[in-house]
Amino acid sequence: MRLGQVTITGFGGIAGTAQLNLSADVVILQGANGFGKSTVCDAIAWCLSGEHPRGADPRSLYSLTGETHASVELISPEARTWTVRRKVANPGAERLAKLDSTVVVEGDEIQLRGTEAIDWIARTLVRATGSTPAELFRLLVDSYYLQQESLREFLVGRSDDERFAALSTMVGAGALEDFVRAFDTARRAWSRSLTEQQNQLGSLASLLTAARARCTLLEEELRHAGRDDLPAAREHWLQSARLALQTAGVDPSQDLTLGDAISSLRNLDAESRRQAEGIRVALADIEGITPPQAPLGSGVTRDELARQAAVVRELELDEERAAEAVRLTRAALEAQRAEREDLAAMATIALRHVSEACPTCGQAVDEGELRRRLAGMLGDSGGGALARALDDAIRAHERVGERLSAEVTGLTRLERVRDAEERGLAARRVYDERQQEELAHLEQLVASIPARADANLPPQERARAVLEQLRERQADISDLLARGGSLEARLEALGKVSSLRAAELHAQEMEREHAEVSATLAARQATGTVAETLMKELKRDSEEFLNARLREMQPLLDQLYAAIEPHPTFRSVALETRNWYGKNRLDAVARDPSHGVMMPDPGRSLSTSQANAMAVTVFLAFNLGLAPTALQTVVLDDPLQNLDDVHLLGLVDLLRRIAAHRQLVVTTHDRHFGALLARKLRPLDVSRRVSVVEIVNWDRSGPSFDVEQVQADLVPLKLTRDVA
């Protein structure tokens, strides 16, 4: 199967549509860097596998059609053709993961879509089996398409166990690897389940021990319970209980059982305690009542109080009268003093104007006499009798007040005595009433208790007698209950015969289960041991299977490596497997056979040119020697990168030999390299075609191609034509 027509739309840097016919034995795609050579290779890989080989988003940012589309024509050796089309919408900012791509395969009487189309591609192009579809498609792309630096990444970047897994798939051991992985996972799970079963067996052993111990305990209890004459003891106890209940006023049934009797006795015990407590509280209450302390019969009568009150009222009237007399005398004295002050004022004025004639009427007056009389008016204070009368009235008032005070004090004292006496009388009445109530309550309590007590005794004495009887009853009940409990326990122990049988059955069941689990575990452990042995063999075989394929491939790898000869002393390269910590791993090694020296990690140790040359030879060895894909095409994307002149010539010579076995698609940014390839890979007969596809222009819609066919050299032997 080879590649034919390729159409790319809205992919990567190709916004429009680019069409390219690859149906030649050798296609040299040349163009400046950035002109879309890698995009063409990536689009082919995306179309066939559904994955962008460099993990990029396939959609063009400048998509002109709103979709990303690629179609690749596949041509069989018998010239049958199929076209694989893959399409994904290109709605702009929408994440690629949310978009479904559609795949269609058409041609040679088939038209398949979706899963059927994907199955067809895998079945037709990938020879390997096993692994996931994604891994198979990755293997497909890895095996025909050498991206720039990708194989160096395989040799240097991936871990050794990843390399082993990838190469296992490539050599067709993917199904074996899948089986080994699945078996190892199952074996580990089995081992974990064995641990769990061992734990379960341990738990069963503990339960079995416990069951046996319970049987022993029950046997012991039964032996103890069977020693006495239990029925006679039970009957005797029931008689005692019945009597105790009857004495306490309870009428037990004729078919009284042990349990009923114990229950009744417990009720009776509680009732007796309640009654005794009631009597004790009532007695305490009675004794706690205190008689009144107030004096009684002090001798103060109502008449004495009345008399004293009358004396007080009489004195209060006298005191009011005396006060009135004082007020009147004081008022008269004040009036007299006002009159004298007026006369003195007039006399003062008259004295300033006195002469021989009266200033008012003009009559002649005795001036001297007049002045004496006026002077006498000024000096006369007057009122001496009234002042004395006032003093007398005040003293009389004070005397009456003193007497009144004394009598009021006497009256107050008599009233206090009388009040105290009345309070004492009231308290006494309360005391008497409460004592009567408490005694009545006590008598009611005592009367409610069936007991023998002398009715002639005072209530408190009778109550104490009943209390004593209750105390004796409680002691009897306690004794009965203790003995009844013991009887009940022994009877219960006798009932454990069935428990013992159940426990023995349980123990037997446990023993059986323990034996079964133990046997099952032993068998499963044996299987685990076999599985472990098988696992070791599977891992050995998995490694050996890959080694056998690598050994088959090794002569070709030697040829290819020698053709480029990247290193003057490390002249041999090999891929070697090893098992490390239970995992199969794969490493590339370079050797100097003449000195037996090995370089374990040549991808890191060689120069870039040497490492790239080695990577190309390993890739070609995979493709030619392992042939993991039915696609008879090798796509080399700018293999010139970092190769020096000698390695470059070696590569070209090698490609010339590869071209006899594979369709070659080689891209290059170097026109001189392109021209060298065209000369050296020139066709030597008319049946072969070599195309040089020049990317002559590029804009946002995509590249423009100019295709030229390399002329065939139909007389390739120049010096030995005659000999040939």
Partner 1 sequence: MSEALLEFQVASAVARVLAEHGALPVGLSSDGSLGPLTYAFEDPHSIIGVSAFGSAQALIGGWLQAQDAMARLVARAGGELGAKAWDTYLVLVAEEPIPKDSRVAIAEIRGNTRYARKLVISSDDALADPNRTQESNIARSLAPLLPLELPSSVSFRDPLSTLSGRLGATGVRPDDLEAVISAHRRGLPLIAELHSRLTGEGGLE
- What residues between 158 and 177 interact with partner 1 by CB under 8 A? 172-173, 175-176
Which one among 375, 555, 597, 700 touches partner 1, defined by CB under 8 A? 555
CA dihedral of residues 397, 403, 406, 411 (deg, nearest 10): -100
Please report whether residue 598 would count as binding partner 1 according to CB under 8 A: no
Please report whether residue 533 would count as binding partner 1 according to CB under 8 A: yes
Which one among 649, 669, 689, 701 touches partner 1, defined by CB under 8 A? 649
Which one among 457, 684, 696, 707 touches partner 1, defined by CB under 8 A? 684
Please report whether residue 594 would count as binding partner 1 according to CB under 8 A: yes
**Cα–Cα distance between 282 and 444 in angstroms, integer?**
11
> In angstroms, what is the minimal distance from the CB of 626 to partner 1?
7
Please report whether residue 645 would count as binding partner 1 according to CB under 8 A: yes
Please report whether residue 688 would count as binding partner 1 according to CB under 8 A: no
Which one among 113, 192, 434, 657 touches partner 1, defined by CB under 8 A? 657
Residues 270-289 binding partner 1 (CB under 8 A) are none
Report DSSP state, residue 295. -
**Cα–Cα distance between 705 and 347 in angstroms, integer?**
160
Concatenated DSSP letters of 650-679: HHHHHHHHHTTTSEEEEEES-HHHHHHHHH
Which one among 680, 697, 699, 707 touches partner 1, defined by CB under 8 A? 680
Concatenated DSSP letters of 243-284: HHHHHTT----TT--HHHHHHHHHHHHHHHHHHHHHHHHHHH
> In angstroms, what is the minimal distance from the CB of 514 to partner 1?
19
> In angstroms, what is the minimal distance from the CB of 724 to partner 1?
6
Residues 615-644 binding partner 1 (CB under 8 A) are 624-628, 644
> How is residue 423 written in tokens?
């309070």
Residues 414-433 binding partner 1 (CB under 8 A) are none
Part of the chain binding partner 1 (CB under 8 A), chosen from 26-34, 199-207, 293-301, 545-553 = 545-553
Please report whether residue 560 would count as binding partner 1 according to CB under 8 A: yes
Binding marks (x or -) toward partner 1, 112..151, rule CB under 8 A?
Answer: ---------------xxx----------------------
Containing 82, the helix (H) or strand (E) segment is: strand 81-89
Please report whether residue 563 would count as binding partner 1 according to CB under 8 A: yes
Please report whether residue 94 would count as binding partner 1 according to CB under 8 A: no
Please report whether residue 583 would count as binding partner 1 according to CB under 8 A: no
Which one among 556, 601, 632, 701 touches partner 1, defined by CB under 8 A? 556
Please report whether residue 259 would count as binding partner 1 according to CB under 8 A: no
Residues 6+ apart with CB under 8 A from 449: 275, 279, 466, 470
Please report whether residue 559 would count as binding partner 1 according to CB under 8 A: yes
**Cα–Cα distance between 72 and 19 in angstroms, integer?**
10
Give the three-class secondary structure for 410.
Answer: helix
**Cα–Cα distance between 79 and 687 in angstroms, integer?**
14
**Cα–Cα distance between 558 and 590 in angstroms, integer?**
11
**Cα–Cα distance between 714 and 685 in angstroms, integer?**
5
Please report whether residue 589 would count as binding partner 1 according to CB under 8 A: no
**Cα–Cα distance between 576 and 546 in angstroms, integer?**
9
Please report whether residue 558 would count as binding partner 1 according to CB under 8 A: yes
* Residue with smaller CB distance to partner 1, 46 or 561: 561
Residue type, 148: Q
Please report whether residue 195 would count as binding partner 1 according to CB under 8 A: no
Part of the chain binding partner 1 (CB under 8 A), chosen from 86-94, 213-221, 440-448, 674-682 = 674-682
Concatenated DSSP letters of 143-198: HHEE-TTHHHIIIIIS-HHHHHHHHHHHTT-HHHHHHHHHHHHHHHHHHHHHHHHH
**Cα–Cα distance between 546 and 163 in angstroms, integer?**
12
Which one among 141, 215, 265, 538 touches partner 1, defined by CB under 8 A? 538
- Token pair 């390269």 in the structure block, residue: 573
- Token pair 């007056």 in the structure block, residue: 365
**Cα–Cα distance between 264 and 240 in angstroms, integer?**
13
Residues 705-724 binding partner 1 (CB under 8 A) are 713, 715-720, 723-724
**What angle in degrees, to the nearest 10, is found between the helix axes of 133-144 and 174-225?**
150
* Residue with smaller CB distance to partner 1, 38 or 577: 577
Which one among 534, 597, 696, 707 touches partner 1, defined by CB under 8 A? 534
Please report whether residue 103 would count as binding partner 1 according to CB under 8 A: no
- Do 588 and 155 contact (CB within 8 A), yes or no? yes
Tell me how many residues contact partner 1 (CB under 8 A): 77
* Residue with smaller CB distance to partner 1, 62 or 183: 183
* Residue with smaller CB distance to partner 1, 19 or 193: 193
